[in-house]
Structure 1
């Protein structure tokens, strides 16, 4: 029986471990938090930081291959592991996705359109970049931002930019131009060790306070938009020599053109619907990909809506359980906090 090492012990690692068990694989979690959500269902946990050399050596010795549940795994740690055993997705995917400027340069180099952008390293560069964008744009940290954190919006050319660079931590930033989009969609795609590629149907996503609220399938887009989004995902997978599942987020313009917002080299929140509406979920698809098994074609058998349960939404679980056609998935977190993802529910429509 082969063993898969999973770096990261949150809910995505938890669902990967559950999918791996169904296919007769063992899992070992590397995560500094004891009794993390993933360790509750995995075979064992190594309690250590992600860059702990002794822990990485122990993980490599215990496993046949390594994957990860989040994109902020230290690249050096992934490269160290890759010298000893397969690491999927490859460390290059981490390197590209961890810096928003590097990510956009990579995408543009693949011929994929994104928002216009400027790298920002001080207040003066910010003011010059805002002038180029007529005072309007989205300012973000280049690294470590997620769920709307590390961002500031400039809606009008009269918005005061004074002190904005310092307010976001005196760290490298990126200013992105506003995209006049009609909706947001995402594609969950996978590439196997043999180069085979499969995509799930696009989901239409709605965010609240920077956090994904719902994903609805089918998305309100035409076949041309869907085909273009799938093609962009396939281009990204091929360019990275990728193995595993990836999430690609898009803005869709009024004419149906999809513009890539960002990529996530892992299973993705907007793909949780697949566990209820497809025979093979994104989590099983990822396990199949990294272990060399045949990929599912990604077909769905039902339309659905997935909703995140955030913070006190956990109190609504009894009501959700009483509803027909609803699948509730909780993450094993003992404390509900504002903005914390406690679980999700997907209902078939």
Structure 2
């Protein structure tokens, strides 16, 4: 498997088809009435997807990625043509690697985006809207930008201002032992999956599906904990649609799940995610996907999930959201926490 996302990892251009966080369109889509029709597709992608993380209204403390206006600021100079801007975004989104970083300060704070297979048309629509319009920015952003500029730290290129980070700064983004964490993360998650699967099959054979649900409720965390102890790590399973609400993914983790879903839907190489923390910890994330057996408890009620199983799920997991899946769908992630070596 090729070297995956390296350095502090979080979101750049995270997308989500289902939600918006904090940003609302103009009432009645008044802005679209005066906008060139060719820009509307890009506007919708930016508002519906990009602003989830690159919010124009969130406080500086609550940002989980740089605001979209900062992305524009770093990519466009006075002499940058629309075609050059579009090509730069295509290059970055198609293969987000540390050597391509333009927003060095943002990467140190937020990290490099997980790979997401946007289509060429989607990227062109995004680029066209960003290039041609004055997009909104958070209230705090201008003061932040000016302060960074006065300190000589630069805000990237934007309109000829600021300065670029040096190559030596870029080297900070590489994990010294990325391959170690990727290989061990894959091995440990496979071991945890295997241990759970074996115990679950035994429980189904002995107690039936309904009995297996109570078995999972009581024993699943203990099984993964035993694998974690043997490997000196912590292991969790997180989901955007959790069965056990203790396993609910954070906003940032839901973004990772979205990235995995895009990769799977577009049939491209799945790239696990590494995230380096300031306290010398490293997190490894990889997707959990459904198979035929999973659908007996995670599929569609009255289709794959029979009535007795539905009743057991309601009994043991009254807030269950982990249903409605089809085979081969991402339903969560493995989250493995290492102490950095």
Q: Which has the higher helix share?
A: 2
Which structure has the larger Rg? 2
Greater relative contact order (Cα < 8 A, sep 6+): 2
Same-fold status (TM-score > 0.5) = no
Q: Which has the higher strand share?
A: 1
Question: TM-score band, normalised by the shorter chain?
Answer: under 0.3
